Structure 1
Amino acid sequence: MKQIMVILPLFAVLLLAAVPGFAGDHDGKQNLNTITVEQLAEVPGVGQELAQKIIDARSENGEFVDMDELLDVDGIDNSKLRKLKKHLYLEAASSCNC
């Protein structure tokens, strides 16, 4: 009986984690604050050069707190930003008070 009492809560947690939209599911999007330059270069419309500029901006200014900060990166305009938002999301990568 004790085994069942331990297994049931664990099973419930695993089941909820598999539900889309629960437990941090971001529909395949990647976190802008943790993505690597190589991963970012694979995002449609980005490429190696723009990916490096975005990562450089993150390195120089700290984590992004708003997607609109990407507009400060040379090569990103409103149209490109809308496209990037389909592939990226924002979440603090560290315990910063952003």
Structure 2
Amino acid sequence: MLKKLFVAVLAWVASIGFAMAAVNINTATVEQLESLAEIGPTKARAIVDYRKTNGGFKTLEEIKQVKGIGDKTFDKIKPQLSLTGETKIEPQPVKGDKKADKTTAKPAKAETAAAQPAASEKKGKI
């Protein structure tokens, strides 16, 4: 009984995560499509071009008609795809992005010096 409940809760949590990362393949920009695993600039551009040429996707499986997207790629991205609704993706930090790296960088010397008492303050408290 508990095992079934745990599996149900786990499935529910996973579905929420996927719902938050839904990419509408009928309206997404190239940049939004690139947020999908296995989809780089070339495949993203090919998806947009296919969509323009064919009037949008009728089924999720139709994306496999785009050059470079086969069964394996489709299986990886399918949970993140939708045909309707707003595209919702969470921004991911880019590896090597100096702005993103600064958030995890060590504090500057001025910050660490301010946190430590001056040498004269240390002597007075002995």
Bin of the TM-score, shorter chain as denominator length? 0.5 to 0.7
**1:6-25 maps to which residues of 2 (within 5 A)?**
none
Determine what percentage of the aligned residue pairs are the same residue: 34
Q: Distance in 2 between matches of 1:27 and 1:39?
A: 13
Where in structure 1 are there 5+ consecutive unaligned residues? 1-19, 94-98
**1:32-51 maps to which residues of 2 (within 5 A)?**
32-51=25-44
Q: Structure 1 residue 68: deviation in Å?
A: 1.2
Structure 2 residue aligned with 1:68: 61
Are the aligned partners of 2:19 and 2:80 in contact in 1 as well (CA < 8 Å)? Answer: no
Q: Structure 1 residue 27: deviation in Å?
A: 3.4
Q: Between Structure 1 and Structure 2, whose CA radius of gyration is higher?
A: 2
Q: Structure 1 residue 86: deviation in Å?
A: 2.1
User: TM-score under structure 1 normalisation?
Assistant: 0.63
**Structure showing the higher helix proportion among its residues:** 2
Q: Name the SS of the counterpart of 1:57 in structure 2.
A: helix
Where in structure 2 are there 5+ consecutive unaligned residues? 1-12, 87-126
**Residues 52 and 31 of structure 1: CA distance in aligned 2, closer, same or farther (over 3 Å):** same
Q: Indicate yes or no: 2:45 matched with 1:52.
A: yes
Runs of 4+ in 1 over 6 A off after TM superposition: none
Q: Indicate yes or no: 2:76 matched with 1:83.
A: yes
Deviations 1:40-70 (A, max 9, x none): 1121110000000011000000111101111
Q: Name the SS of the counterpart of 1:26 in structure 2.
A: helix
User: TM-score under structure 2 normalisation?
Assistant: 0.50
Q: Name the SS of the counterpart of 2:48 in structure 1.
A: helix
Structure 1 residue aligned with 2:111: none
Q: How many residues were matched structurally?
A: 71
**Residues 61 and 92 of structure 1: CA distance in aligned 2, closer, same or farther (over 3 Å):** farther
Q: Distance in 2 between matches of 1:45 and 1:92?
A: 22
Letter in 2 for 1:54: I
